[in-house]
Amino acid sequence: MSHRLLTRALALLALLVLLAPIASAKPKPPKGGKPAEAAAAADKDKPFTDWKKTTKDATVQKGYFNVWRKRESLWLEIQPSQLDQPVLGIFSLARGIGQNFVLGGLPLNDRLLEFHREGDHIFVVEKNTRYRAPAGSPMSKAVDLSIGSSVIASLKIESEHDSTKALLVNFGDFLLSDVSDMTEYLKSSFNNKPFRFDKERSAITSTKVFPDNFEIEAALTFSPSDRTGLGLETPSDDRYLPIAVHYSFSKLPATPMTPRFADPRTGQFLTVVKDFGRDESENFWVRFVNRWRLEKKDPNAPVSEVVKPITFYLDHTIPKEYRPFVRKGVENWQKAFEAAGYKNAIVAPDAPDDSTWDAEDVRYSTIRWITSSVPSFGAIGPSRVDPRTGEILDADILFEASFIQGFRNNYRRWAGPEAIGAMVAPQKAMRAALPSFLPLERSCALGEGMIDAGSLVSLTMLLDGLMPPGTPVPEEYLGEAIVWTTMHEVGHSLGLTHNFRSSTATPNDKLNDLGWTDTKGLVGSVMEYPSPNISSDRSKQGHYYTTTIGTCDMWQIRYAYTPSGAANSDEDYVFARKIADESALPGNEYGADQDAYPDDALDPRVNIWDLGTDPLAFAKDRAAYVASLWKNPKLEERVVGPNGDYPTLRRALDTTLGQYSIALGLAVKYLGGQYASRTRRGQEGGVDPLTLIPAATQREALEFLGTRAFAADAFAIPSGLLSKVGQDRWVHWGIGNGFSGPYRYDYDLGAKAFSIQSALLTELLEPRLLLRMREAEGRSADAFRMSDYFDRMTRMLWGEVAGGAPAALKALDGTSTRRDVQRAYVDRLAGLMVGSVAGAPDDARALARLQLSRIDQRCTRQLASEAPMGDYTRAHLLESRARIKRAMDATRSADSVRGASAIGADAAGGTSSGAAQ
């Protein structure tokens, strides 16, 4: 080595020796600080808290989404791959308050959600699923430009994982809020009384995570802003309503199911979108039927086992003695699916005693029992649906335990006379009772109607001596009721809507023919609300309720589920439409909620609580049978028994009045009514969409009402019986305080009868009925003319005055309800005449004036006659004349004002006209 190189090497070695202590020394903390403070300063430079520090001492539940909990904090872990992906959010009531439709198990919201990152926050976006266009098309850009999706929450990002980039967000604040819109739900349930959410009295009580979903439950507290008149009896403190909300978040199928287009002739729940890519069609609407995804193990076999059956687990809440009936109600649907090509497509095993099984897991559909202080719906079958295709993913059917008691031995305790009158139009009463947040087509309100109808069967069995007083109905009958109710709710969960025309599929003379009903069903569809089948000939009693699904159920399942093998939905519909073309075949009669419930519903074949091809014949038979119960000399003995309570007889009598009023109400739709059809032009067996009801049939319906509703003896219940119908003497919460309220100690038969008659008069003079009647005159020479209708009503209600038999006039003096209904008719006519009844045609106003004049003349002649007349009758006739005079005077004043206005308008018009000339 040269001297120069040696010198350089020694110098470098010396430098390294000098630098070694510096290199090995620990870094000094910043001036005036400590190491911990230095670390904190470094953390401040990071946008989020360190992952390990955030999750320290937290427990994690891993699954579809990971959920972290630590004390009162709850975080949701969102992987990058889970951002901007669809998540089905289902919010429902886990526990309610047992009244006013605030009941555990009822649905609140169904939402398609996405978690979307914006800076340091995650937006919970509720996707707008109502509008679409082909992906990537110019129209899709137009849809995005025009229609947005709502951000229902903004969640602060608490931490971000260094390696996986997973995000941790505060999910507890999202759940402990009114995101379910519960305050509006309560407001709708309690006559628009406002409520507020109380976060301080709310907490998350349960979190469960599964492979395809995670479920969280929160105990929330809501307080009424004004407790006046709420009638809150079930909460322990009515200032604080304890309501549990269940939040379910589940995965949608990776491969969407091929949807099937709906057809208006069949009855399925719908998933509806506006597809702006269909600009060549008549409109943009696309309607899919809601249905389960079923696949054959052998696609080529006409009938094949299924890859995955529809499975309803019978929950442990169902009493053991009822489970065989519930299972039968589920599995009765198997023959419908066999007709569609599937074997064993629907099964009902018991829920397993397995810690890994949970009713809240979206992979399991269940049937459960719940309790409520006041029955609201009887049973209900909500389901979760993929909003992209209409695929049903999960369903949970709920039964209110109290409806079983109603079937067994309970009679209705009516709140007042007007409640019985409302049964004249039970569909209206039911619609009015439903909270506004429950869509009519999605609501199933079997509850009170089932109990009332079941109570009539109980009364019938008592009078037949089939059971001793005070004992429950036989198990056989109760089983029939549970089987039918289960079939009905399972039908909803399979995607079927109500069918309130299906009762007309069975001829009246076949209702008690077991050979017919065992094969075809007592009704064409179990999706009916049928009246119990009670034969007036007690020696020929058939099934009280249908024991099998009907022909219409078979057809509608075939429409929704039969595989077509088509490549797309358009080709699939060509196949399905051939099945829909069978709508005109006998047994496939169909009428939906919207055909039965609206005020202007016009087809008398679409009703709730009727039976048979001819509803008018059924109404006559049922009214006569119920009236016979009042006169049965064994009624007290069989209902009360040797040591029973008289209030039972009172409630039984109320039940018969309710059923009597339903029978009377069935006749109203015939008046001004029309038969409606959903068939299409050119369809085999199709008919016109609308067909006028023959005038003779309408007159027959009116005559029936005159005899059974308005005659002096229509409600002739023996006075001896009325002396036995005592009132309940209990005084406690839920019953009343004994000093106020609608209950009378004596039996208010007159008030109850008049409530029925008054409700009928309102229906018979309803403006839309009168409009249809007048318009029908221009369509048919056989139409029931409105002038004839008014004249017949007047003679029906006032026939005994001035021209009636002396006995009838004497009956008028002794029957207050007859006088009440006569005055009510005068008042209704006066309302039409003076225009206080909105929407009535002018011809009805003129005819009302004519009939009032004729009634006035009848009263005048009767008062001037020498016929013997009691003070009640004389006072009644004078009062009626006074009412007519007041109405006439009011009309003359109104006519004078209208005439003066018309003259002024003509004068102004003439001046303008002259000026123009």
Euclidean distance between CA atoms 391 and 259, whole angstroms: 8
Domain boundaries, the chain: 51-251, 304-727, 785-895
Percentage of residues of the chain with pLDDT beyond 70: 87
pLDDT of res. 620: 98
Residues 749-799 pLDDT 10s: 999 999 999 999 999 999 999 999 999 999 999 999 999 999 999 999 999
pLDDT of residue 17: 46
pLDDT-derived band at 412 (thresholds 50, 70, 90) equals low
Q: Is 729 helix (H, G, I), strand (E, B) or coil?
A: coil
Q: How many residues does the chain have?
A: 917
CA atoms 859, 864, 866, 870: torsion sign: positive
What pLDDT shows up at residue 64?
A: 95
Mean pLDDT score, 7-31: 48
Instruction: Give 599's pLDDT tier (boundaries 50, 70, 90).
Output: confident
Q: How far apart are CA 645 and CA 652, in angstroms?
A: 12
| pLDDT (average), residues 41-46 | 61
Q: For residue 15, what pLDDT band results from cuts at 50, 70 and 90?
A: very low
Q: Which residue is it, tokens 């023919």?
A: 513
134-138, 325-329, 344-348, 687-691: lowest mean pLDDT where? Answer: 134-138
pLDDT at residue 735, rounded to an integer: 62
**3-class secondary structure, 166:** coil
Q: Is 80 exceeded by the pLDDT of residue 738? A: no
Question: Distance (Å, rounded) from C-alpha 345 to C-alpha 816?
Answer: 61
Per-residue pLDDT, 911: 41
Q: What is the DSSP string of 30-49?
A: PTT--HHHHHHHHHHTSSS-
Helix (H, G, I), strand (E, B) or coil at 366: strand
| % of the chain beyond a pLDDT of 90 | 63
Q: Burial of 811 by CB count in 10 Å (0-12 exposed, 13-18 middle, 19+ buried)?
A: middle
Q: What is the pLDDT of residues 297-334, one digit of tens each?
A: 999 999 999 999 999 999 998 999 999 999 999 999 99
What number is the average pLDDT over the span 699-712?
Answer: 97
Pick the closest to residue 364 from 326, 395, 385, 331 (CA basis). 395
Q: Please provide the average confidence, as pLDDT, over all residues in the chain.
A: 87
Q: Please compute the mean of the pLDDT values over residues 584-606 and round it to a whole number.
A: 93
C-alpha span between 639 and 499 (Å, rounded): 35
Strands 391-400 and 383-385: antiparallel
Do residues 526 and 491 make contact, with C-beta atoms less than 8 angstroms apart? yes
Task: Write the single-letter amino acid at 274.
Answer: K
Most distant pair of Cα atoms in the chain: their distance = 162
Residue indicated by tokens 């809020």? 177
Q: How confident is the model at residue 912 (pLDDT cuts 50, 70, 90)?
A: very low
Across the strands, what pairs with 116? 123
Q: Which of the pair, 23 or 522, is modelled with greater confidence?
A: 522
CB 105 within 8 A of CB 317: no
Contacts of 742 (CB under 8 A, 6+ apart): 415, 416
Give the per-residue pLDDT at 359.
Answer: 76
Q: Which of 142, 153, 73 is nearest to 111 (CA)?
A: 153
Q: What is the pLDDT of residue 916?
A: 35
Does the pTM surpass 0.75? The reply is: yes
Lowest-confidence pick of 147-156, 609-618, 895-904: 895-904
Beta bridge partners of 218: 204, 245
Residue 802 pLDDT grade (very low, low, confident, very high; cuts 50, 70, 90): confident
Distance CA 845, CA 787 (A): 11
pLDDT score, position 477: 84
Q: What is the mean predicted confidence (pLDDT) over 397-405?
A: 76
Instruction: Provide the residue type at 285 as one letter.
Output: W
Task: Please name the residue that has the structure tokens 């070694």.
Answer: 20
Q: What is the mean pLDDT of residues 853-871?
A: 93
Cα first-last separation, the chain: 132
Residue 736 has pLDDT above 90, yes or no: no
- Do residues 438 and 188 lie in contact, with contact meaning Cβ atoms separated by under 8 Å? no
Higher pLDDT, 182 or 891: 182
pLDDT at 892: 79
H or E segment at 26?
A: none
DSSP H/E element including 430: helix 426-433
d(CA 365, CA 393): 9
Provide the pLDDT for residue 899.
Answer: 57
pLDDT tens for 62-120 read: 999 999 999 999 999 999 999 999 999 999 888 888 788 887 777 888 899 999 999 99
- Amino acid 69: pLDDT: 96
- In the prediction, which pLDDT does 915 show? 36
pLDDT value at position 732? 74
Residue 688 confidence (pLDDT)? 94
Q: Would you state the pLDDT for residue 809?
A: 86
Structure-token match 């009325």, residue found: 722
Average pLDDT score over residue span 897-910: 52
pLDDT at position 725 over 50:
yes
Instruction: Please determine, for residue 848, whether its predicted confidence score (pLDDT) is greater than 50.
Output: yes
What value does the CA radius of gyration of the chain take, rounded to a whole number of Å?
35
pLDDT-based confidence at residue 23 (cuts at 50, 70, 90)? very low
Contact present, 223 and 241 (Cβ < 8 Å): yes
* Tens digit of each residue's pLDDT (9 = 90 or more) over 462-475: 899 888 888 878 88
Give the pLDDT score at 917: 30
Q: Given the structure tokens 């039927």, which residue do they identify?
A: 289
**Taking residues 235-250, what's their average pLDDT?**
93
- Structure token digits, residue 763: 């229906």
